Amino acid sequence: MPTTGDLGFVLIPGAGLGTWLWDPVVPHLEGPGLPVPIPGRGVSTAERRALTLGAAADEIAGAARTWEPERLVLVGHSLGGVLVPEVARRLSDRVAGLAFVGALVPGEDERGFDLQTPFQQMFIRLLGLVRPRGAKPPASALRKELCNDLDEATTASVVEHFEPVPEAPRLYRDRVTWAGVPDVPRRYVQLLRDQSVPPERQARMAAAIEAEMVTLDTGHLPMLSRPADLAAILNEVAGD
């Protein structure tokens, strides 16, 4: 494995989730971790609506460019997977591997929206009509989709810290291109008890991008339920 400082991990959380999600994982990585928030928070409604997928990727790539490690593994969780190929295109000379954790991963010219469940699509459409600033899903929905394998204290923390979604509608609706994405190892971590992104859909997405698929017997947030096991999988990505 590369020595610490040579390889770093850029960690992108899913919708509504903050950089705190990765805190339990970072100590187990064989290199420094850079958790980055999904862009679109803390800005006006007009700015959120105007934020493109490309502009969001520019923001994340900009943060990574000023970071010390020479080689980067890009890790996307849930909606964060939509951003990974776009960020990889912008950092092609430094990217050593791509990893997806229970992630939405569009193929060429696909959208993240197309990979969501019908209920999730309906929720996003409804928010666009009645809550243009976004909204926090009901606690019952968060518990069911995100926390089905977490203890009560961890579940309560997730519900408390979950932020209004969508951060920016175009993160779901802009089409992704893989043109210019470097030819580096790709690994998809399929979550067998995921209630947010169905495991069978995860398998199809992994196959579509020709990623190696490994499994964890967890719900949607293995960073909180099995952080050391997840880190071990991520540590192997650039060494494939």
Q: Which pLDDT score, from 0 to 100, does residue 45 have?
A: 83
The encoded tokens of residue 60 equal 């994340």
Are 221 and 170 a contacting pair, CB within 8 Å? no
Task: Quote the CA–CA distance of 99 and 10 in Å, as a whole number.
Answer: 10
Burial 43-64 (b: 16+ CB within 10 A, else e): eeeeebeebebebbbebbbeeb
**Closest-CA residue to 84 (of 163, 16, 181, 166):** 181
Task: Using alpha carbons only, give the angle 19, 195, 232 rounded to the nearest 5 degrees.
Answer: 50
The encoded tokens of residue 106 equal 């569009």
Residue with tokens 């880190």: 231
Amino acid letter, 154: T
**CATH superfamily of the domain spanning 7-239:** Alpha/Beta hydrolase fold, catalytic domain (3.40.50.1820)
Measuring CA to CA, how many Å separate 13 from each of 43, 140, 240?
Answer: 19, 21, 23
Are 108 and 209 a contacting pair, CB within 8 Å? no
Angle between helices 80-90 and 53-65 (to 10 degrees): 60
Would you list the domain boundaries of the chain? 7-239
Helix (H) or strand (E) holding 11: strand 7-12
CA gyration radius for the chain? 16
Task: Using alpha carbons only, give the angle 218, 199, 36 rounded to the nearest 5 degrees.
Answer: 65
Are 9 and 234 a contacting pair, CB within 8 Å? yes
Residues with Cβ within 8 Å of 38's Cβ and at least 6 positions away in sequence, in order, are 12, 13, 14, 15, 17, 56, 79, 80, 83, 167, 171
Task: Quote the CA–CA distance of 238 and 3 in Å, as a whole number.
Answer: 12
The encoded tokens of residue 99 equal 């990893």
What does the pLDDT profile of the chain (240 residues) look like in tens digits? 334 459 999 999 999 999 999 999 999 999 999 999 999 988 888 898 899 999 999 999 999 999 999 999 999 999 999 999 999 999 999 999 999 999 999 999 999 988 888 888 787 777 665 666 778 889 999 999 999 999 999 999 999 999 988 888 899 999 999 999 999 999 999 999 999 999 999 999 999 999 999 999 999 999 999 999 999 999 999 875
Task: Quote the CA–CA distance of 132 and 145 in Å, as a whole number.
Answer: 23
